[in-house]
């Protein structure tokens, strides 16, 4: 049998390992030498791969294992993501094995807590890990919804990988009622992502969140689709901040217990320090309930055909908006309209970081370090802003803060955030799609000018802000009082102002900041619609800075001769530049096809990613692709996006054939690019022709994206893709 036939059989095996997983016996493979085992890894099921990696973790190549786990994740879920990367952090979702096992755990959890006694809605029984242990058909139904013995074993086994817990509100009650799962999560879970947070399930959400933060290891909390009344919203924020407000009854109880302790204590009998004797003993105001959750009753309540029963109501509320006919749920006994127009009562200023337990003990509250609120119901946006103003000054553990689609127009909000920056407490600040105060941007840059100067940071261990993300702000960025910087600053490493209108006054202040900020490495101004003269000034300043690694100028005009010359100068001077994004920048064909641009791209020592999609460059990008793939000298570029440039599919096939012939004649083998995007071009091809396009680029590119425009979809969705 020829080698080609053997490879063909192996490829066929790879296509159906999900259904026929015993083609290669695991015991036979483990008996082979390590370098031979690696040849069979890609043909193993996820179950066998997991067993092999657990039994022989040191005998296998870690890089090869990670690539194969990534293939398993993509085959089952299409993408390798378990954590929402809100703060653009590196290293997240990179361990493909951990991503697979976490996703599998969450699927079992979802099946037990939501979809029990229903036909497998999430293809859980198709998962190789599940199928090897439970050889059921895909239409299997658990007969007894109260019998979880079939799944509890797997839940406990794979709970050790649940570093990230992504759930919805209805699942919190089930978890709180299962002590074994809850105790297991307390040992490993570090990130909690809860969707559909509403008043109906808030008691269980509060109990779970409080337990995982104060008795577990949770330091990251992310919430989305939040619809809470003000009291519950305040409780949620207090739990995350590690504080609570004392009421008059609690103060009286604290005083009584403190006096009682002092009266009963003597210097001979008291076994403790003077600090412990005089220590304030405090109790909680948000009343973490000692709830006995019934998993059987919970399973009956949530066992409905709807996969997420509360999402329909949430989106229905979003559609209603501010309609006068809207009537809130009377079961919560809250009139949201009355609450909105009623003045907010002032809280007692006494803040406590401990709470009193019924057994007489005191627990020190811990706040999360990372907090993100992605989406709030229209009726609680104002409440969220007011609660945030109360909580932020006392949130001492907060280092990464993100809010989306909310009202941040209050001047008090500006003051609290600015104070956090002045004290160098925050490392990441993300405020996207928000209504900011008109002075926010100006005060922010003035804070960098006054509190992040190099002269100050030499003697004090102050770090620059790692991320400042202001995307899609509803108000234009401007500055009334322009004050020049007194010297260089160590301000922000990654600055993203994409999709935000910048007025001339704000742009002048931004240029002054960029000129003096020595810490800046990543700058994104995508979709700011800067004029040619503004882009020219920007590139002129950036050309003098040699530390920039990422520049995004999509949606700005980069087409005049002077601007193009300054762009070449910028690329030549910035030897550390790794990513250049020029989508929809009106690039000219003669510029992209010029020798100076091609040589700059091919000879750049660090440029790994270039994106020039949606510039109507036509066959010009084919010549660029050919120059990159046929470069005889080493080319660093590994990712190229030339989508939406009106290139014909036949021209792309012809270009690929020419590249293959050239590389074969020059004895050049192996893939050239890690990623190539051809989507959105004129790919009006038949299925056989499109398959041919995949085949011709198969040996040249590791990851090829070829998506045709679906003309049946709305035009605005096409724009979003571009």
Three-state SS at 703: strand
Is residue 675 situated within a structural domain?
Answer: yes
With bands split at pLDDT 50, 70 and 90, how would you rate the model's confidence at 604? Answer: very high
Q: Give me the pLDDT at residue 9, please.
A: 55
Q: How many CB atoms lie within 10 A of CB 516?
A: 22
What pTM was estimated for this model as a whole?
0.80
For residue range 381-411, what is the model confidence (pLDDT) as tens digits?
888 888 999 999 999 999 999 999 887 788 8
Does residue 612 or residue 410 have the better pLDDT?
Answer: 612
For residue range 653-674, what is the model confidence (pLDDT) as tens digits?
899 999 999 999 998 888 899 9
The answer on 184 and 149 residing in a single domain is: no
Mean model confidence pLDDT for the chain: 78
Three-state SS at 321: coil
List of E strands, 629-715? 639-641, 673-677, 701-705
Is residue 288 situated within a structural domain?
Answer: yes
Is residue 415 situated within a structural domain?
Answer: no
Cβ-proximal residues to 183 (8 Å cutoff; 6+ apart), any chain: none
CATH code for position 611:
3.80.10.10
Q: Give me the pLDDT at residue 206, please.
A: 93
The answer on 174 and 133 residing in a single domain is: no
Q: Which of 104-113, 285-294, 311-320 has the highest mean pLDDT?
A: 104-113
Kindly state the average pLDDT of the residues 495-521: 94
Does residue 436 or residue 36 have the better pLDDT?
Answer: 436
The answer on 101 and 14 residing in a single domain is: yes
Q: Give me the pLDDT at residue 236, please.
A: 92
Rounded to the nearest 10 degrees, the angle between the axes of helix 381-391 and helix 411-422 is 40
With bands split at pLDDT 50, 70 and 90, how would you rate the model's confidence at 55? Answer: confident
The answer on 172 and 150 residing in a single domain is: no
The answer on 380 and 298 residing in a single domain is: yes
Q: Domain of residue 56: give its range.
A: 1-156
Kindly state the average pLDDT of the residues 575-585: 96
209-223, 321-335, 348-362, 436-450: least confidently modelled range = 321-335
For residue range 491-503, what is the model confidence (pLDDT) as tens digits?
999 999 999 999 9
- Residues 106 and 564: their CA atoms lie apart, in Å, by 50
Model confidence at 342: pLDDT above 70? no
With bands split at pLDDT 50, 70 and 90, how would you rate the model's confidence at 593? Answer: very high
From the DSSP assignment, how many helices (H) and strands (E) are in the chain?
30, 21
Kindly state the average pLDDT of the residues 87-97: 78
Q: What b-and-e string marks burial along 288-327, b requiring 16 or more CB atoms within 10 Å of the CB?
A: beeeebebeebbeebeeeeebbbbeebeebeeeeeeeeee
Model confidence at 577: pLDDT above 60? yes
Domain final position from 373, 405, 437: 405
Is residue 474 situated within a structural domain?
Answer: no
With bands split at pLDDT 50, 70 and 90, how would you rate the model's confidence at 435? Answer: confident
The answer on 152 and 200 residing in a single domain is: no
The answer on 204 and 123 residing in a single domain is: no
Model confidence at 282: pLDDT above 50? no
Q: Give me the pLDDT at residue 602, please.
A: 95
Let me know: does 646 contact 678? Beta carbons within 8 Å.
Answer: no
The answer on 149 and 179 residing in a single domain is: no
The answer on 193 and 310 residing in a single domain is: yes
Is residue 14 situated within a structural domain?
Answer: yes
With bands split at pLDDT 50, 70 and 90, how would you rate the model's confidence at 702? Answer: confident
Is residue 378 situated within a structural domain?
Answer: yes
The answer on 168 and 146 residing in a single domain is: no
The answer on 238 and 373 residing in a single domain is: yes
Q: Which of 38-42, 151-155, 438-442, 451-455 has the highest mean pLDDT?
A: 438-442
Domain final position from 122, 156, 190: 156
Rounded to the nearest 10 degrees, the angle between the axes of helix 149-158 and helix 96-113 is 150
For residue range 521-553, what is the model confidence (pLDDT) as tens digits?
999 999 999 999 999 999 999 999 888 999 999
Is residue 479 situated within a structural domain?
Answer: no
Q: Give me the pLDDT at residue 125, please.
A: 67
Nearest CA to 77 out of 40, 105, 103 is that of 103
Model confidence at 722: pLDDT above 50? no
362-371, 425-434, 670-679: least confidently modelled range = 362-371
Domain final position from 141, 156, 171: 156
For residue range 136-187, what is the model confidence (pLDDT) as tens digits?
555 555 555 455 666 788 889 899 999 999 999 889 989 998 899 999 999 9
Q: Give me the pLDDT at residue 430, please.
A: 95
The answer on 131 and 169 residing in a single domain is: no
Handedness of CA 677, 679, 684, 685 (dihedral sign): positive
Considering its fold, how many domains does the chain have in total? 3
With bands split at pLDDT 50, 70 and 90, how would you rate the model's confidence at 358? Answer: low
Is residue 480 situated within a structural domain?
Answer: no
């Amino acid at each position: 049998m020829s080698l080609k036939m053997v490879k063909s059989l192996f490829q066929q095996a790879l296509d159906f390992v999900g259904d026929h997983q015993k083609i290669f016996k695991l015991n036979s493979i483990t008996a082979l030498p390590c370098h031979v085992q690696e040849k069979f890894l890609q043909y193993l099921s996820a179950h066998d791969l997991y067993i092999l990696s657990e039994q022989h973790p040191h005998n296998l190549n870690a890089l090869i294992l990670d690539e194969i786990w990534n293939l398993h994740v993509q085959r089952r879920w299409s993408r390798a993501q378990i954590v929402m990367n809100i703060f653009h952090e590196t290293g997240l979702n990179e361990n493909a094995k951990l991503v697979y096992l976490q996703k599998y755990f969450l699927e079992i959890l979802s099946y037990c807590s939501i979809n029990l006694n229903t036909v497998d809605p999430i293809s859980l029984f198709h998962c190789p890990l599940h199928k090897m242990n439970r050889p059921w058909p895909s239409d299997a139904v658990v007969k007894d919804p109260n019998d979880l013995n079939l799944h509890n074993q797997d839940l406990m086994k794979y709970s050790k990988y649940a570093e990230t817990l992504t759930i919805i509100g209805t699942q919190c009650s089930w978890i709180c009622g299962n002590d074994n799962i809850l105790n297991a999560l307390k040992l490993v879970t570090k990130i909690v992502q809860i969707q559909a947070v509403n008043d109906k399930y808030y008691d269980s959400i509060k109990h779970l969140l409080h337990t995982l933060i104060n008795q577990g290891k949770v330091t990251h909390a992310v919430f989305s689709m939040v619809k809470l009344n003000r009291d519950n919203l305040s409780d949620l924020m207090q739990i995350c901040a590690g504080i609570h407000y004392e009421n008059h009854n609690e103060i009286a109880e604290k005083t009584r217990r403190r006096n009682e302790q002092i009266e009963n204590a003597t210097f001979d009998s008291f076994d403790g320090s003077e600090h412990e004797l005089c220590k304030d003993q405090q109790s909680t105001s948000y009343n973490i309930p000692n709830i006995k959750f019934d998993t059987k009753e919970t399973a009956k309540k949530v066992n409905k055909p709807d996969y997420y029963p509360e999402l329909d109501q949430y989106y229905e509320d979003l559609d209603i908006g501010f309609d006068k006919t809207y009537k809130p749920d009377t079961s919560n006994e809250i009139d949201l309209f009355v609450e909105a127009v009623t003045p907010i009562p002032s809280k007692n200023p006494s803040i406590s970081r401990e709470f009193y337990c019924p057994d007489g003990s005191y627990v020190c509250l811990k706040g999360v370090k990372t907090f993100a609120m992605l989406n709030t119901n229209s009726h609680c946006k104002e409440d969220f802003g007011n609660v945030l103003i109360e909580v932020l000054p006392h949130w001492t553990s907060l280092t990464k803060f993100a809010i989306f689609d909310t009202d941040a127009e209050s001047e008090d909000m500006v003051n609290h955030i600015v104070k956090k920056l002045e004290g160098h407490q925050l490392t990441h600040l993300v405020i996207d799609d928000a209504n900011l105060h008109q002075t926010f941007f100006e005060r922010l840059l003035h804070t960098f000018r006054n509190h992040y100067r190099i002269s100050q940071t030499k003697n004090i261990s102050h770090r620059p802000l790692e991320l400042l993300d202001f995307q899609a702000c509803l108000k234009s960025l401007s500055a009334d009082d322009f004050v020049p910087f007194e010297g260089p600053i160590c301000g922000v490493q990654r600055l993203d102002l994409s999709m935000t209108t910048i007025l001339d006054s704000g742009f002048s202040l931004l240029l002054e900041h960029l000129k003096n900020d020595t810490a800046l490495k990543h700058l994104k101004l995508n979709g700011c619609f800067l004029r040619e003269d503004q882009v020219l000034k920007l590139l002129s300043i950036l050309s003098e800075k040699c530390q920039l690694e990422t520049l995004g100028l999509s949606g700005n005009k980069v087409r005049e001769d002077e601007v193009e010359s300054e762009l070449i100068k910028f690329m030549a001077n910035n030897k550390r530049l790794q990513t250049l994004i020029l989508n929809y920048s009106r690039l000219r064909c003669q510029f992209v096809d010029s020798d100076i641009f091609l040589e700059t791209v091919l000879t750049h020592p660090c440029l790994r990613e270039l994106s020039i999609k949606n510039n109507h460059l036509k066959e010009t990008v084919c010549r660029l692709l050919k120059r990159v793939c046929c470069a005889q000298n080493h080319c660093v570029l590994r990712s190229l996006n030339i989508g939406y440039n009106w290139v014909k599919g036949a021209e792309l096939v012809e270009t690929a054939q020419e590249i293959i012939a050239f590389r074969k004649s020059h004895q050049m083998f192996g893939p050239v690019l890690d990623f190539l995007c051809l989507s959105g071009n004129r790919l009006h091809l038949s299925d056989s022709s499109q398959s041919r396009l995949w085949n011709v680029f198969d040996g040249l590119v590791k990851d090829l994206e070829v998506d045709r425009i679906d003309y049946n979809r709305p035009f605005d969705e096409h724009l979003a893709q571009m």
